[in-house]
């Protein structure tokens, strides 16, 4: 039997150690990596492509739900949680495997047997549908993302979206721009627009999405054209089709935000 490639993702090292020891007594499980936070979990799942992940819901940097939300292709998952009424109800509703801390070895093996049964009969499509519904429920409960992951070299970095000045699309790539720093983002502007709070972020051009709270001033460029300027001095042109909506949003966000004439 080919070993099941498995990742343990839990921010508590003693919990990972106990889980690892318990799994050592279960044949056919190969632990290939461990993650101590959501960012590590996301990076390891993407790079190592495990068949099975023990995923703690309450982790720093990114929760287990946020990790799943970022994954386009998902492994089989056994959720781990301390008492969380919402999470427990969601797992029960969607008939997903979970372990409530502290759990016994018998409960672990029950969840593992069920997960491996599904793997063995290629039921991962059915499980993915259930996980999709779980993530959708989480999105409805908390519809907008507050953090975003982006690849930097071989690692992933997670930043709070409130820090971004604007997102800019250039030559088919999308960049997170914060001050004079730029980070490549594995998202389209359309996806970002749908996932970010519209009360804070606005599409102002076919190639730009701005954080309204980060704008330091608005510059009139002549012939009715406007640009949003940020503390770094960088400017983003406002597309003509977005001008009216931008003016309305400006007045809602800050009445003190005035239009300045360009001296160029």
User: Domain check: are 19 and 106 in the same one?
Assistant: yes
Round the average pLDDT of the chain to a whole number and report it: 83
- What is the 3-state secondary structure of 92-120? HHCCCCEEECCCCHHHHHHHHHHHHHHHH
Cα–Cα distance, 149 to 44 (Å, whole number): 13
User: Domain check: are 169 and 134 in the same one?
Assistant: no
Cα–Cα distance, 70 to 255 (Å, whole number): 36
Domain count within the chain: 2
> Which parts of 153-239 are beta strand (E)?
155-160, 166-170, 173-178, 181-185, 201-205, 208-211, 217-222, 225-229, 235-237
Q: Identify the CATH number of the domain in which residue 66 sits.
A: 3.40.50.2300
User: Domain check: are 100 and 211 in the same one?
Assistant: no
φ, ψ for residue 227, nearest 5 deg: -140, 140
- Residue 114's alpha-carbon distances to 4, 17, 143, 176, 246, in angstroms, are 14, 22, 31, 41, 53
Q: Is residue 37 part of a domain?
A: yes
Q: Which of these three, 141, 175, 190, is where a domain ends?
A: 141
Q: Which residue has the higher pLDDT, 198 or 92?
A: 198
Q: Strands 52-56 and 29-35: what pairing?
A: unpaired
User: Domain check: are 133 and 194 in the same one?
Assistant: no
For residue 74 the two structure tokens come to 């998902």
- pLDDT, tens digit, 9 for 90 and up, residues 88-102: 666 665 557 788 888
Q: Which of these three, 110, 141, 172, is where a domain ends?
A: 141
For residue 103 the two structure tokens come to 């759990």
User: Domain check: are 57 and 177 in the same one?
Assistant: no
User: Domain check: are 8 and 136 in the same one?
Assistant: yes
Q: Give the number of other Cβ atoms within 10 Å of residue 41's Cβ.
A: 31
Cβ atoms of 207 and 237 closer than 8 Å: no
Q: What 3-state DSSP class applies to 28?
A: coil
What integer is the mean pLDDT of 29-45? 92
- pLDDT, tens digit, 9 for 90 and up, residues 38-91: 889 999 999 999 999 999 988 877 888 888 878 877 888 898 887 666 566 666
CA-closest candidate to residue 229, choices 159, 166, 162, 163: 166
User: Domain check: are 109 and 183 in the same one?
Assistant: no
User: Domain check: are 137 and 8 in the same one?
Assistant: yes
What integer is the mean pLDDT of 130-158? 69
Q: Identify the CATH number of the domain in which residue 185 sits.
A: 2.40.50.1020
Q: What 3-state DSSP class applies to 234?
A: coil
Domain range for 191:
163-261
């Amino acid at each position: 039997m080919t070993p099941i490639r498995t990742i343990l993702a839990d921010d508590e090292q003693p919990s990972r150690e106990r889980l690892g020891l318990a799994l050592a007594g279960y044949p056919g499980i190969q632990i290939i990596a461990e993650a101590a936070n959501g960012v590590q979990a996301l990076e390891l799942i993407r790079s190592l492509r495990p068949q099975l992940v023990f995923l703690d819901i309450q982790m720093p940097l990114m929760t287990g739900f946020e990790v799943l939300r970022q994954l386009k292709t998902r492994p089989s998952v056994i959720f781990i949680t301390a008492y969380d009424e919402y999470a427990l109800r969601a797992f029960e509703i969607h008939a997903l495997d979970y372990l409530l801390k502290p759990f016994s070895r018998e409960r672990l093996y029950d969840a593992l047997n069920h997960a491996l049964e599904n793997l063995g009969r290629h039921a991962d499509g059915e499980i993915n549908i259930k996980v999709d519904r779980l993530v959708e429920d989480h999105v409805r409960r908390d519809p907008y993302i507050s953090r975003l992951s982006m690849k930097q070299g071989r690692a992933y970095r997670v930043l709070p979206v409130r820090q971004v000045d604007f997102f800019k699309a250039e030559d088919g790539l999308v960049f997170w721009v914060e001050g004079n720093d730029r980070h490549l983002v594995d998202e389209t502007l359309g996806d970002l627009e749908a996932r970010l709070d519209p009360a804070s972020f606005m599409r102002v051009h076919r190639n730009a999405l701005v954080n309204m709270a980060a704008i330091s001033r608005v510059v009139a460029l002549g012939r009715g054209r406007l640009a949003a300027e940020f503390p770094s001095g960088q400017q983003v042109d406002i597309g003509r089709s977005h001008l009216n909506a931008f003016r309305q949003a400006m007045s809602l966000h800050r009445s003190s935000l005035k239009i300045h004439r360009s001296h160029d």
